[in-house]
Chains A and B, each alone.
Chain A
Amino acid sequence: AQSVTQLGSHVSVSEGALVLLRCNYSSSVPPYLFWYVQYPNQGLQLLLKYTSAATLVKGINGFEAEFKKSETSFHLTKPSAHMSDAAEYFCAVTLPNTGGFKTIFGAGTRLFVKA
């Protein structure tokens, strides 16, 4: 079965420290991968997406992710955390499905940023 696994339901970093949120996928077809962010009491918004044009993808707010086919990973990083980065982050993959396609999500990782 196709799936997305996010390692660590909670990650805590100090302000200014490196942020690393892990995502691994299993897919028998070329994956279309995304990272979304959810701030409190809001819906999800797109951070970045992998389009196969480049393995290193840059997104909004200084985040980037690297697609590694050999490791089936798409980890999200940011060199220096800011208090405003505190949120929940979701990795997602879009898969073909009868009649169209569907996007499935990982369980999410909540990022805490300490002053």
Chain B
Amino acid sequence: DVKVTQSSRYLVKRTGEKVFLECVQDMDHENMFWYRQDPGLGLRLIYFSYDVKMKEKGDIPEGYSVSREKKERFSLILESASTNQTSMYLCASSLGRSYNSPLHFGNGTRLTVT
């Protein structure tokens, strides 16, 4: 079965810390995505990657960076965490260059920045 695994379910970090959120997929998918989910705003795309070492900015990339050194792993980095980055973070992957490939999601990481 398809699986996207996010390394942490809950994280609590302090303002100014560097934070790493890790995501691994076991489906050999080309595309990987990071979204943040906030009440009333739905999911907003932070970054995505359609190939190893490739990355594209989404709609809200400010304050974030990403790394994709291997096909199965996509990391989201908060260079200096701030309280407005407290949110649920969802990783997803999809197959190939097809517009109608659905996204497969992890269970999310709830990050609290204090």
* Count, chain B residues at interface, CB 8 A: 28
Q: Which of A54-93 contact B (CB under 8 A)?
A: 90, 92
The chain A residues found within 8 Å of chain B, CB to CB, are 6, 9, 32, 34, 36, 41-46, 49-51, 90, 92, 94, 96-108
Give the contact stretch, choosing among B13-21, B36-44, B61-69, B77-85. Answer: B36-44
Q: Mark B12-49, 1 if CB is under 8 A from A, else 0.
A: 00000000000000000001010100001111110010
A64 to B63, CA, bound (A): 39
Q: Which of B71-101 contact A (CB under 8 A)?
A: 90, 92, 94, 97, 99-100
The answer to whether A102 touches B106, judged by C-beta atoms less than 8 angstroms apart, is: no
- Which A residues are CB-close (under 8 A) to B107? 41-43
Give the nearest-CB partner of B91 in chain A: A43
Interface of A is mostly: strand
The answer to whether A106 touches B42, judged by C-beta atoms less than 8 angstroms apart, is: yes
A94 to B48, CA, bound (A): 13
The answer to whether B54 touches A99, judged by C-beta atoms less than 8 angstroms apart, is: yes
- Which B residues are CB-close (under 8 A) to A99? 50, 54, 56
The answer to whether B90 touches A44, judged by C-beta atoms less than 8 angstroms apart, is: yes
The answer to whether A90 touches B56, judged by C-beta atoms less than 8 angstroms apart, is: no
**A103-B45, A107-B42 known; A43+B105 contact, CB < 8 A:** yes
The answer to whether A51 touches B108, judged by C-beta atoms less than 8 angstroms apart, is: no
A92 to B59, CA, bound (A): 15
Distance between B107 CB and nearest chain A CB, rounded to angstroms:
5
A51 to B42, CA, bound (A): 23
Distance between B47 CB and nearest chain A CB, rounded to angstroms:
10
**A44-B105, A103-B103, A105-B42 known; A97+B33 contact, CB < 8 A:** no
